[in-house]
A and B are shown apart, each in its own frame.
Chain A
Amino acid sequence: MAVYAKLGNRLELVCVNGVARRAGVSCGDGLSDACARVPALRTQEDVPAANASLLAALADWCDRYTPLVALSGEDGLLLDITGCSHLFEGEQALLEDCVSRLTSQGFTVRACVADTVGAAWAGARSCQGVIAPGQQREMLAELPLSLLRLESRVVAGLTKVGLKCVGDILDRPRAPLASRFGPQLVRRLDQALGMEGEPISPRLHTPALVAERRFFEPVSRLEDVEAVILGLGVHLKKQLEDRGEGGRAFEVVLFRVDGVVSRLIVGTSGPVREPDFMLRLFKEKLKAAGDDLDVGFGFDLIRLGVLEAQSCTAGQLDLSGSTSDDADLTLLVDRLGARLGLARVSRFLPQDSHVPEQRAALVPAATVREEAVFWPDETLLWDTSAPERPLRLLPQAELVEAIAMVPEGPPLRFRWRRALYEVARSEGPERIAPPWWEGTAPTRDYFRVEDTHGRRFWLFREGLFERETPVPRWFLQGFFS
C-alpha cells in the first residue's frame, strides 16, 4: 500500500507501509516506477484535508489524558501532561497506555515523554520512551541535528562544516553559531534543553471545571449515559458551590471505545448549578444529536466540564416556595436553545438607527437580560390613524418593477415575484436617508401602498431622481395588514 501525491509535475510516493517497503518501494519513488516494479502495489492519492481531520480527531481522543493538546506539524501531537501523569500511575504507564490504545486502533505510533517540547519531539522521532527529568542534554547529544526542528538549509550548512550531532554544537561558543546560522539554531537548542520556555497552544478552550468517569466495560445505553451525566453533575455542583459560581456553558465529552469523540455543548441563560437542570438540557441535546450520535460499541470515558462560569448568588425563596415566576420560562428558553441552537431562540433588541431593517437586532434570548429589552413607546409620536411601520419585513428588500406617473410620485402598478399589483391607494413619501457617515447609500422614499384587492405593501424608491440617480429603482420591503 502506498500513498502518492502530485509534487510539481510528477506523481510521487509520499508514504508507504511496511509491506510495500519490504517489497522494495520507498518514499520519493515515482508512481509509475513503483507500479512497474511491484505490480501488486495498491496506491491511493493523498488527501491532505482527510489527514488533517484524522489528526484533529486523534487530538480529540488524546483529550482523555490532558486538556492541553496541540497539533504539531502535519503528523504530530503535543500533549502537556504536567500534573496529569499521577492519574495514570506515572509517566511510563501513561505512555504505554496511550501507545497501546493507539496501536490497537491500527496506528503506528512513536511517542516520547520529556521535560521540553524540543526534547520530546526529537525523542519521539528517535524512538525513545520516557526521558528522565534533566536528562535531555545527554539524550540530545547523540542525536543528529535534523531532530532539532531546524530548517533544512541550516542543517545542510552545519553538516558542510562537519557538525553532525547535537553534541557537536552543545559546547561551542554560541555567538559565532548564531551569527553564522541564524538565531533560530540557538533558540531551538535552548528550547530543547529547557533554558527557554516554550508554551504549547492547545486546540480547545480548557474547561474551568471537569468531572469525568472511566468505565472498565463501555456503556452504550443512553439512559446510562444520562445517569452518568447526572452523577458527574452532582460532583460539579459541590465544586461550583465552593467557588460561589454557576455554569453558563457546559460540555459533555463522550469517548467511544474505538476512538471517536463526540462533544455536546449547551449554554444557559443564567448561572446553573443544579444537576437536574443540566441533565434536562443535555437530554434535549442528545435527542437533537439523534442519528449523528453513533453509540457503536459504547463509551469508555464520559466527561462533564464547565466551559464558562459566572458568579451566582443564591435566589431567595418567596412564600410559595419558588424563587421566581419565570423559572419555567428560563427553563423553556434553555431547552429550546439546547435542542435548536442558542441563536434560534431570539429577542428583539432596539438599536439606535432609522434604517428600518437596522432598527431591531435579533439577539439570542439566552444572552439578553430582561432589563436590556426596552422599547420606548413611540405610538404617541405617530399619527394615530394608521400604523406607519409594517408588521413584516422581508429579510432582503426585493427588487420590483414599478411604474410611477412622475419620477417622484407613488407607483401606479408594480410587479413583484412575477405577479402584477395595481395600486389603488398610497401614502407617502416618507423619506429615510442613510447615515451620511456610513458611505454613499442612496436616499429612500417609502410609500405605503394598497392594491386593488386590499393587500398592503411597503415599497421604497432608492435614490432621488436626477440628484442621486437617473433611474431610481423600486424595492418591496414589508407588508402591512
Chain B
Amino acid sequence: MNSRKEEIDALRRRLAVLEGRLPPEAQLSLAPASAASKLQEPALPSDQNLTASHDRSSKDEAGAPCLRSAVSPRFCLGVEALDGASAQPGFKLGTMHEFIAPQVRLSGALTGFVAALATLCANRRAGQVLWVLDEAVQREAGMLCAQGFLQFGLDPARLIMVTPRRVEDMLWVLEEGSQCQSLSVVVGEMLGDFKELDLTSTRRLVLRTERSGVPLFFMRHGADATVSAAMTRWCVGSGPTPTATRDRTGAYVPHRALMGAPRWRVTLEKNREGRPSSCDLEWNHATRQFDEIPRLDIENASAGTATDSLPLVSRAGHRSPVPSGTGQVVAFRRVR
C-alpha cells in the first residue's frame, strides 16, 4: 500500500513538473528526495541539452567547425579570432548580417567577402542564391561576373539576380526573398545611405529571416554605419598592403610580386551576440575556406623591415618569392 502511494506521488510530481506548476502540498506526502530529484532530472528545461549539443560541436566535411544547435543553425568562418567573438562559436545563420565598405571603390573587396560567406552558406543549405542589387550599384560598382564567381567557388547557375528600380522595391524583394525557405542565401546590395533603411525596415527583415532561417547578407557600398537591427555589422577593407622593400640606395620601393589569393581586412564592428573583433583574412577558393593572416606580419610590414615580405609572398601560391630589383614580373599559366 505504501509503495503504491509513493508511486502515485511520484507520478503527481512528474505531472506537475511537466505542466510547469508546483505540486500542491496537500497532495504530496513526504517523498524520498532521491526519487524526486531523479524524476526532475530529464524534465529540466533545455539549457543543459543546449550546452550538451554545443559540446558535441564537430568539424564537418569542409573542415570548418560548424554547429548544429537545437535552437538555430550557425555558421563558422573557421577563423578563431572571428568565430570566438560571440558567446557561442560562429554566427547565427538565420538572421541579417550587414556589411559595409566606406568607399565605393572597395566594391571588389566587399563583394568578395560576402561572396565567400555566401559560398560557405550555399555549401550548407541547398537552393538558389537570390542576389538583389540596385541600379546605382550596377552603374558604379558593376554587375556580377559569372566566371569570376565560378572561380571563386559559387556556382553562377545558383544565382538569381534581381534589379529593382526603387529602394522600396528593393526592401520588398528582400522581404519576399528572406521568407522563401527554398532559397539558400539572400544577398542585398545598396549604394550609400537611404532614409528608408531604418530600424523599422531592418527589423522587419530580421524577423522574417529568423522565422524562415534563410540568411540575409546586406551589403552597402560607400556607406557609413547607421542604425540597424542586423545581428552583426562588418566593415570590409582591402587586404594588408603589399610589403615594401628597400632597393640598393636604401629607399622603399613597392615590392613587385604576384597577387595571390583574395584577402581582406575585416572588422566586426557590431556583434549583438558578443564582442567586436577584427582580423585579416585570406580566401582559399580551391578548398573554399578562410585562412587567417597573422597580424604580426602586417605590423612588421608597416614598420618596413626587409624580412617581412617573405611569409606573405609564400602564401601567394606555390611559387618561390621573387627577389626585388630583377625587373618586371610576369605571370604565366602553369603547365600541367
Tell me, yes or no, whether B74 is within 8 Å of chain A by CB.
no
Which stretch from B27-35, B42-50, B313-321 is at the chain A interface? B313-321
* Most chain B beta-carbon contacts within 10 A, residue among A326, A374, A390, A428: A390
0/1 string, B304-328, CB within 8 A of A gives 1 = 0000000000001111000000001
Q: CA separation between A417 and B256, bound complex, in Å?
A: 25
- Residue from the list A359, A395, A419, A455 in contact with B108, Cβ < 8 A: A455
Of A184-192, A201-209, A381-389, the stretch lying at the interface with chain B is A381-389
A377 to B139, CA, bound (A): 29
A345 and B240 form a contact (CB under 8 A): no
Chain A residues positioned under 8 Å from B110 (CB to CB): 481
- Inter-chain contacts of A478 with B (CB < 8 A): 108, 142, 145, 148
Question: What sequence of 0s and 1s flags, for each residue 234-247 of chain B, a beta carbon within 8 Å of any chain A beta carbon?
Answer: 00011111100000
Q: Which residues of B contact A393 (CB under 8 A)?
A: 142-145, 148
For window 383-434 of A, CB contacts with B under 8 Å fall at 383-395, 405, 409-410, 417, 419, 422, 424-429
Most buried by A among B151, B152, B173: B151
What residue of chain A has the Cβ atom nearest to residue B169's Cβ? A340
> Quick check: B112 and A360 within 8 Å, CB to CB?
no
Q: Which residues of A contact B144 (CB under 8 A)?
A: 348, 391-393
**Contact A375/B146 with A326-B182, A345-B160, A391-B152 known, Cβ cut-off 8 Å:** yes
Closest-CB distance, B105 to chain A (whole angstroms): 6
Q: Give the size category of B's interface with A.
A: 35 or more
A8 and B45 CA atoms in complex are apart in Å by 93
Residues of A within 8 A of B146 (CB): 348, 350, 359-360, 375
Main secondary structure of the interface of B (DSSP, over half): mixed
Nearest to B162 among chain A residues (CB) is: A345
Complex contact B159–A347 (CB within 8 A) = yes
Task: Check: A339 CB closer than 8 A to any chain B CB.
Answer: yes
CA–CA, A197 and B146, complex, Å: 55
B150 and A395 contacting across the interface, CB-CB below 8 Å: no
- CB < 8 Å neighbour of B319 from A385, A450, A454: A385
- Which residue of B is nearest A479, CB measured? B108
Interface flags for B243-266 (1: CB within 8 Å of A; 0: not) read 000000000001111111111110
The interface stretch among A51-59, A74-82, A107-115, A328-336 is: A328-336
Among the listed A328, A335, A336, A388, which residue makes an inter-chain contact with B181, where contact means beta carbons less than 8 Å apart? A328
Query: Is there an interface contact between A385 and B316, defined as CB atoms closer than 8 Å?
Result: yes
A-chain residues with CB within 8 Å of residue B294 when the two chains form the complex: none
Contact across chains for A388 and B151 when beta carbons are under 8 A apart: yes
**Which of A347, A375, A377, A384 lies in contact with B161, CB distance below 8 A?**
A347
Query: What CA separation (Å) do A274 and B285 show in the bound complex?
Result: 44
> Which residue in chain B gives the minimum CB-CB distance to A347?
B160
- Chain B residue nearest to A374 (CB atoms) is B157
A365 to B157, CA, bound (A): 11
- Asked if A379 lies at the interface with its beta carbon under 8 angstroms from chain B, I say yes
Q: In whole angstroms, how far apart are the Cα atoms of A325 and B184 in the complex?
A: 13
Is B229 at the interface (CB under 8 A from chain A)?
no
What residue of chain A has the Cβ atom nearest to residue B151's Cβ? A387
User: Which chain B residues border A448 with CB–CB below 8 Å?
Assistant: 259
Contact B157 A375 (CB under 8 A): yes
Residue of B nearest to A406 (CB): B328
How many angstroms from the CA of A457 to the CA of B109 in the assembled complex?
10
Instruction: Give the distance in Å from the alpha carbon of A391 to the alpha carbon of B264 in the complex.
Output: 14
Are A480 and B141 in touch, CB under 8 angstroms?
Answer: no
Contacts of B242 in A (CB 8 A): 424-425, 450, 452, 454
Distance of A478 Cα from B161 Cα, bound (Å): 18
Known: A391-B144, A427-B258. A454 touches B239 (CB 8 A): yes
The answer to whether A360 and B156 touch across the interface, beta carbons within 8 angstroms, is yes
Known contacts A340-B169, A479-B111, A481-B111; decide if A329 and B127 are in contact (CB<8 Å): yes
Q: How far apart sit A379 and B151, CA to CA, in the bound complex (Å)?
A: 6
A344 within 8 A of B: yes
Task: Tell me whether A387 and B128 are in contact in the complex, defined as CB-CB below 8 angstroms, given that A348-B159, A424-B254 are known contacts.
Answer: no
Q: Are B257 and A481 in contact (CB under 8 A)?
A: no
Contact of A28 with B by CB under 8 A: no
Complex contact A419–B105 (CB within 8 A): yes
Q: Which of A374, A387, A454, A455 neighbours the largest number of chain B CB atoms within 10 Å of its CB?
A: A387
Q: Chain A residues near B147 (CB, 8 Å)?
A: 356, 359-360, 378, 389
**Residue of B139, B257, B265, B331 ringed by the most chain A CB atoms within 10 A:** B331
Contact check, A345 vs B148: say whether CB atoms are below 8 A apart.
no
Q: Which residue of B lies closest to A376 (CB)?
A: B150
In the A-B complex, the 8 residue pairs with the smallest Cβ-Cβ separation, listed nearest first, are: A481-B112, A479-B108, A385-B317, A454-B238, A360-B146, A392-B142, A389-B148, A348-B146
Query: Which residues of B does A touch, CB under 8 Å?
Result: 105-113, 115, 127-128, 130, 138-139, 141-152, 155-157, 159-165, 169, 172-173, 176-177, 180-183, 237-242, 254-265, 283, 285-286, 316-319, 328-331, 333-334
- Between-chain CB contacts (< 8 Å), 22 pairs: A329-B182, A332-B176, A336-B173, A344-B162, A344-B164, A347-B157, A348-B159, A350-B156, A375-B150, A385-B260, A386-B317, A389-B150, A391-B108, A394-B143, A419-B105, A422-B254, A453-B241, A454-B242, A456-B238, A479-B142, A481-B108, A481-B262
A residues with CB within 8 A of B:
325-326, 328-329, 332-333, 335-336, 339-340, 344-348, 350, 356, 359-360, 362, 365, 373-375, 377-379, 382-395, 405, 409-410, 417, 419, 422, 424-429, 448, 450, 452-457, 478-481
